[in-house]
Amino acid sequence: MKTLLLAGLLIIGGCGVFAQTGGKAAPTISNQSNAPDGARLFAVNCGRCHRPPDQLSPKIAGSVLRHMRVRAMLSKEDEQAILKYLAP
């Protein structure tokens, strides 16, 4: 009987902890307001597949962004912000 009671309490306690943390998202760069716009946009739209390059010329960055803009469905403003982030 004690074992059954203990098991029931553990299940109920576990459900309470799960319910408390289930609705909260873990902090990421996409919801941090102190991240620069270009860095945040890169992380959200490009960071799924790409790591930010160490150095990239503005000409190459612009060409890559024009091609990827369509696939990532970026607005012109987002494209410019990411370009400023990649090739300041």
- Separation CA 73–CA 86 (nearest Å): 18
- Give the domain range for residue 38: 2-86
Report mean pLDDT in 10-residue bins for the chain, 88 residues: 59 52 44 67 90 81 88 91 88
- Number of domains the chain is built from: 1
Single pTM value for the model:
0.55
Give the distance from CA 51 to its chain's centroid. 13
- Distance CA(38)–CA(44), nearest Å, equals 10
| pLDDT for position 79 | 92
* Contact yes or no for 56/86 (Cβ under 8 A): yes
